[in-house]
Structure formats: structure tokens, C-alpha cells
Structure 1
Amino acid sequence: MNKIQLKEILVNARKDKNLTQNQVALCTDKDISRQYYGMIENGERRPSVEVAKAISVVLDIPWTIFF
């Protein structure tokens, strides 16, 4: 999956749940910052499996889309 597709999925899932990037970061309970989540959403960083799973729970998406 390329960066553009991943970004679309993450942004759409986040907006469908009416969440901000900060809210997603806080809801993961993995102590990630809004900035770090923003970098993941923009395809600038790839999360660890643990963080990917936490984000997927918050956004109700498959965690494997990150890899």
C-alpha cells in the first residue's frame, strides 16, 4: 500500500469517528504524540506493530495496512 492510500484510509477512518489527530494519539494508550501520529498518517513514519495495533483499535481498521 502506498503512502497516499494509507493516508486516505487513516484520515477517512479518523474523520468518520469525528476524532482529531490528538484524540487518536491519546486513545491509543501507547504514549504517542499528536506529531508522531501525524507523521504516521502522512506516511512519514511507520509505526511499530504494537502502535499499529493500538491505532487500528481506535480507528476500527486492520492493523496490517501499515505494513
Structure 2
Amino acid sequence: MDAKTIGQRLIKLRGDKTQEEVANAVNISVSALSMYERGERIPRDNIKIRIASYYKRPIHKIFYP
């Protein structure tokens, strides 16, 4: 699981939405989302679930190669 690859996937999924909009919907801070997208951190499992649910994608398609 490569943090940079996950970050690129998250940016692509976010599309035209703002980081603030996605962070609020997933109930995380904008700075946390930003770190995930830059590949500086990988979200904890409970946050992975919320992100996958928000984007209506299976968890493994976003977070696992």
C-alpha cells in the first residue's frame, strides 16, 4: 500500500469538489484530507470506510493495489 498512489487516487476521485467539501462530508479535517492526498499519511481503517462510502467505491479499489 503506497501512500503516494493512494493520494493520487483520492485526488482523482475528488474531481471538482473542494477539499473542504469532502472533508466535511467524511467528518475529517481539511488538513488530514490534504495529507492523505499528498501521500504523507494513510487513513485509519474507520476513515477508509467513510471515504469509500462517500465516493461509492469498494475500499480495496481505493486503498489497496
Instruction: Give the shorter-chain TM-score range.
Output: 0.7 to 0.9
Q: Corresponding residue for 2:23?
A: 25
- Could you tell me which runs of 5 or more consecutive residues in structure 2 were left unpaired when the two chains were aligned: none
Inter-CA distance 60–36: structure 2 relative to 1 (3 Å threshold): same
Supply the AA of the counterpart residue of 1:5.
T
Matched with 1:50 is 46
State the alpha-carbon separation in 2 of the partners of residues 42 and 61 from structure 1.
Answer: 20
Q: Does 1:36 align with 2:9?
A: no
Give the Cα separation in 2 of the matches to 1:12 and 1:4: 12
Q: Report what 1:13 is aligned to.
A: 13
Number of aligned residue pairs: 63
Q: 1:4 to 1:48 in 2, by over 3 A?
A: closer
CA apart distance, 1:59:
2.0
- Percent identity over the alignment is 30
User: Relative contact order, CA 8 A, sep 6+: which one is greater?
Assistant: 2
Contact kept in structure 1, 2:6 and 2:39, CA below 8 Å: yes
List structure 1 segments (4+ residues) > 6 angstroms apart after TM superposition.
none
Structure 1, 3-12 or 35-44: larger mean CA deviation: 3-12
User: Over the residues paired in the alignment, what is the CA RMSD in angstroms?
Assistant: 1.7
The alpha-carbon deviation at position 55 of structure 1 amounts to 0.9
Which of 51, 63, 66 matches 2:63? 66
